[in-house]
Chain A
Amino acid sequence: MTAEVVGVRVPPRTGSHDARAIKVVLHRELLRFANDRTRMITMLIQPILWLFVMGTGLGTLVRGVIPGIDYRTFMYPGMISMTVIMTAMFSAGSIVWDREFGFLREMLVAPVSRGAIVVGKCLGGAVVATAQGVIILALAGLVGVPYSPILLVTLLGEMFLAAFSITAFGVLLAARMRNMQSFFGVMQMAIMPMMFLSGAMFPLANLPSWLHVLTTVNPLTYAVDPMRQAVFGRLDVPAQVNAMLNPGVTWFGWRLPVIVEIGLVAAIGAALLGVAITQFRRAE
């Protein structure tokens, strides 16, 4: 037993203190993820099933219609986004978990701003989801996508941004939820239609106009399209196939450049983050 009492003086809260808080919340997310093998594996199974089972099945059906490209190559960027989105959502859901098991209170009574906790959580979700996406990136060769360093870096950046925005959305949903069941219920309800309408599973060209409107207002569309454009930019496909599978997003005849899409995702992410922080400030 140490005889002397080690007193510590806690310094007053400053900006660097909040930065530390962001770091420690992020660090915890990573520790939790690294310790949770089951979650890592289950999160991977779904996109792999989609890619290799559904992709192969549907691919045989459409082989004659779209010459010169494997349907799985088309699905590949969609599956990257799907993995990232699901992982990010699960990370956000851990806030509900933390609330159920009391740990959220430990964070909320600490002398740090709510903003720092929410930002840390979103960064954590983004890093974890990107890490998960890396595994899908590693499969690129299997579906005929070249391992180009520029492509990989571009996809990583786009994944991170999408994951951050999605986590912010999830944290916003989680702010008021008291248990995991209702969170996952709401999450499925929100994410499934968004995913279907994002172009992750089928191309957004030649859709009936009502469906086209829905895909255009769906924010996820703008997260998926840059990834598809990045992948197709590296492929050598006939122009008419490219027009069919990689039509991009058009607003009243204007095709949005990738940079605008990325800007949109970032703006939506920032807005969601802002609202999520307000929610946590109010939830006392």
Chain B
Amino acid sequence: MDAAVAVKGLKKTYGKVEAVKGVDFEVAPGEVFGFLGPNGAGKTTTISMLCTLINPTGGTATVAGHDVVSQRDQVRQNIGLVFQDPTLDGYLTAEQNLRFHAELYGVPRSALDDRLRQVMEMVALWDRKDSKVMTFSGGMKRRLEIARGLLHSPRVLFLDEPTVGLDPQTRSAIWGYINKLRLTEDITIFMTTHYMEEAEFCDRIAIIDHGEIVVIDSPEALKASIGKDRVQLQTGDDDKTIALLKDRFDIDAAVHEGQVTFAVASGESFVPLLFADLGLPIRSVSVSRPSLDDVFMSYTGSTIRDAESGDGNAWMRAMARGR
């Protein structure tokens, strides 16, 4: 079977800014594929090109076998979208919003009532179908959008940061729906996220940074490829610690999120060495198995939070430091 999404050299530039610098990847039918990267990495730009919302500057992309530029309508018919920002009409009821969508997509009336009930029950909003959407909480709106995105049985469902800004319960509920979906429906899911925990749910993830895909693989394979534990130290003198680590163990450590951080093959057996005769002012030590955070760090050279605070949050960091 053909790929659900196939992308070759896809590029988007705004003036001189290269938002997406020629990415290549394929998503197999039935796969849950995640785009992982900090804000501003080019995730939303890529997803917008795949959804025919913006035209690529270069390269090609097909979704459900249709070209995103020349066969826009066919692409649109076969995709469902859930965006970061709500796209519901707050003045209409939940059911009216969904019926409006069904009409726009030409869902046959004979199947509509059953399908409507099914998607609304899936997100546990059937009993609220007659309420105006403006009375809904953020989480309920997102759930309703997911129901709406599924209403016309799309082949590919695009989720752009589906859980951003939601409380933990709603987040896990939404992941519950997504996991149920892959079992019950014949659907491919393409999502973006900057939450590491969520990327774990994907079959494969692509790490994207500065408009380029750094690596694509399953979360397990990515973690295995690092093969090292992460050690984080809180010290009284970070610079001295880093210098000593380099000197004595030939380890490249760096400060991330306020802690001296480095990777070693076997964390537990390394820690005692730290205390043997260094005389370092260490306050606390933590050792962790490789996580996607480490994967991200080893491929991009920074943690995802470092990367995010790099673009635009310098002021907030300065504020936090000054406190």
Residues of chain A at the chain B interface (Cβ within 8 Å): 1-2, 5-13, 17, 20-21, 23-24, 27-28, 31-32, 35-36, 98, 101-103, 105-112, 284
Q: Are A28 and B89 in contact (CB under 8 A)?
A: yes
Tell me the complex Cα distance, A107–B101, Å. 8
Given A8-B152, A102-B87, does the pair A110, B114 have CB atoms closer than 8 Å? no
Within B45-61, the residues touching A (CB, 8 Å) are 51-55
Partner of A105, one of B83, B111, B112, B151: B83
Contact B53–A109 (Cβ < 8 Å) = yes
Main secondary structure of the interface of A (DSSP, over half): loop
**A9 touching B87, Cβ below 8 Å:** no
Find B107's partner among A2, A8, A35, A109 (CB 8 Å cutoff). A8
Q: Are A36 and B91 touching (Cβ within 8 A)?
A: yes
Asked if A11 contacts B104 (CB within 8 A), the reply is no
List B residues 179-208 near A (Cβ within 8 Å). Answer: 184-186
Q: Across the interface, do A31 and B96 meet the contact criterion of CB distance under 8 Å?
A: yes
For the complex, count residues of B whose C-beta is within 8 A of A: 43
A8 engages B111 (CB within 8 Å): yes
Taken together as a complex, chains A and B put the C-alpha atoms of A94 and B76 apart, in Å, by 24
State the CA gap A284–B51 with chains docked (Å).
Answer: 12
Give 6 nearest A-B pairs by CB, closest first.
A24-B103, A102-B87, A111-B76, A110-B104, A106-B87, A111-B77
- Tell me the minimal C-beta distance from B167 to chain A in angstroms: 21
CB of A14, distance to nearest CB on chain B (Å): 9
Alpha-carbon distance A27/B186, docked complex (angstroms):
32
Contact between chains at B81 and A111 (CB < 8 Å): no
CB-CB < 8 A to B96: which residues of A? Answer: 31
Known: A5-B184, A9-B108, A102-B88. 5 other contacts (CB 8 A): A7-B153, A8-B115, A103-B87, A106-B101, A106-B104
Whole-angstrom distance between the Cβ of A7 and the nearest chain B Cβ = 5
B107: A residues at CB distance < 8 A: 8, 10
Write out, one digit per residue, whether chain B residues 69-92 have a CB within 8 A of any chain A CB (1) or not (0): 000011011100101011111111
Report chain A residues within 8 Å CB of B114: 2, 6
Which of the residues B54, B106, B122 comes within 8 Å of A11, measured between beta carbons? B106
Residues from chain B with Cβ under 8 Å of A6 in the complex: 111, 114-115, 118
For B185, what are the chain A residues with a Cβ–Cβ distance below 8 Å?
A: 5, 7
The reply to whether the CB of B117 lies closer than 8 angstroms to some CB of chain A is yes
A24 touches B83 (CB 8 A): no
Quick one: given A2-B121, A8-B153, A13-B73, are A35 and B103 in contact (CB under 8 Å)? no
Residues of A within 8 A of B92 (CB): 28, 31-32
Structural contact, A9 and B153, CB atoms closer than 8 A? yes
